[in-house]
Chains A and B, each alone.
Chain A
């Protein structure tokens, strides 16, 4: 199968006040259609920076990232981000308006069609009653559900999720992981998911990329089926 997303020898660096930090070093991997591809690694392995590079917010100093053969040069609506932060919804718009705005601002749909599609996806994440609520009246889990609904309504080529459940309590996190899998069963979207939690990676992923810290380098790329926590832990932390 041809790769949907190809990351080829990508080195990422960012400047701090007095030095240039290398976040990842010559990282390569390929994501195919309908993958649930998880980037897993301890903090400091550059996984979030890597995801931002795929999103087009950071340019690699070496190597290339291409989506469907076209090189990624900047942010665009074909790669929609779901962030960890709860403030990713526009506070001056209601749940429904947030989704409608995303669809109309990117020029995907007219206002009326956008309204219909917004309601469809709001129902999917079970928030129909809250369609006209402002984000500050929702709980953290509900806000993340809206962000997921918004991202899915955009029907991007690939969904980029940056630890979307990390700021939630354990009970809600487990439920959200199940819901994400159910949504995936419906539409088989492609998702690139970043996490530092081994159980979350095992639950969500079909394929897992393991990164080492300081700077991030590929330790392994494995299938989720047939792996367990002990195996991943030994691969991540044992010095071979």
Chain B
């Protein structure tokens, strides 16, 4: 037997200890901000672009960053890019909205029973891998040259991805939460709106984001092919037209606009929704 060791009993005093610690230095604070880190990266990429384009010295193939920005501002000032962007966004919203409504209906049908779920799984398995642009020739025959065809391919781009994610969201709702909702004796519509929808919101939001990205991509691609109707065209058409006139800085400016708009929606709109909902509720970290 080892010797009995003495017991140690301390009285713990909280006073005088600085638990919060000392403040971080300014560079460390800067480094902790995701936006700051990304801004630095963007500046570095722009410098790299500028340097490479200058060394290449061939504005027809690869214009410099400064030329592109200049072209962007001129096109914005002349109203060309804003007009094209507004046209594209209008089309996008139409196709996106119709696609979301259809996806909602399909998901509701899928949640109602096994046959509905089988239908959704089969349809998405068939059509989700089918690129929207592959439907363009058919759309042209069905709807002619114009808005109808673009909206048709947009709906195809949005519908399957959104329905798939929404359905996954509803299926992931914990059985405990469902039982809690039923326990209050809620009527069916109230149960769906007040329990199932918020509980499935992480999946729904993912669906909205994926659908949006698909729609934007598809739209620009479709406009490149036949984006003009009744004299006005979208950003894709703008890029196509500028290339025909060999105004390459303008082509780059058009591409930059497409990128910027994508970043804006992702980082402002969706980020704000995410912060106000799933992050706040601790359903997503």
Contact = CB atoms under 8 A, between A and B. Distances in A.
Interface string A70-83: 00001111011101
Contacts of B186: 105-106
A199 interface: no
A136 interface: yes
B179 interface: yes
Contacts of B190: 105
A220 B211 CA distance: 59
B282 A81 contact: no
Given A91-B282, A105-B190, A137-B282, A76 B179 contact: no
A48 B40 CA distance: 57
A77 B184 contact: yes
Interface residues of B, number: 21
A113 B190 CA distance: 21
Interface residues of A, number: 25
Given A90-B195, A106-B185, A136-B282, A81 B179 contact: yes
A75 B176 contact: no
B177 A81 contact: no
B172 to A, nearest CB: 12
A29 B201 CA distance: 42
B275 interface: no
A81 B183 contact: yes
Nearest to A156: B183
B184 A106 contact: yes
Majority secondary structure of chain B interface residues (helix, strand, loop or mixed): helix
Contacts, number: 63
Contact of A91 (B184, B194, B283): B283
A102 interface: yes
Given A75-B185, A105-B186, A90 B180 contact: yes
B128 interface: no
B184 A83 contact: no
A105 B187 CA distance: 9
Contact of A134 (B198, B199, B280): B280
A216 interface: no
Interface string B256-285: 000000000000000000000100111100
Contact of A80 (B183, B199, B277): B183
B277 A75 contact: no
A55 interface: yes
A74 B181 CA distance: 13
A158 to B, nearest CB: 12
B282 A57 contact: no
A57 B281 contact: no
B66 interface: no
Contacts of A55: 179, 183
A21 to B, nearest CB: 18
Interface of B: 174, 176-177, 179-180, 182-186, 190, 194-195, 198-199, 201, 277, 280-283
26 contacts: A55-B179, A57-B182, A74-B182, A76-B185, A77-B183, A77-B185, A81-B183, A83-B176, A83-B180, A90-B195, A90-B198, A90-B199, A91-B281, A91-B282, A92-B201, A92-B281, A92-B283, A101-B194, A105-B190, A105-B194, A106-B184, A107-B185, A134-B282, A135-B282, A136-B283, A137-B282
Query: 9 shortest A-B CB distances, which residue pairs?
Result: A136-B282, A75-B182, A106-B184, A91-B281, A85-B176, A105-B184, A92-B281, A92-B198, A77-B185
Interface of A: 55, 57, 74-77, 79-81, 83, 85, 87-88, 90-92, 101-102, 105-107, 134-137
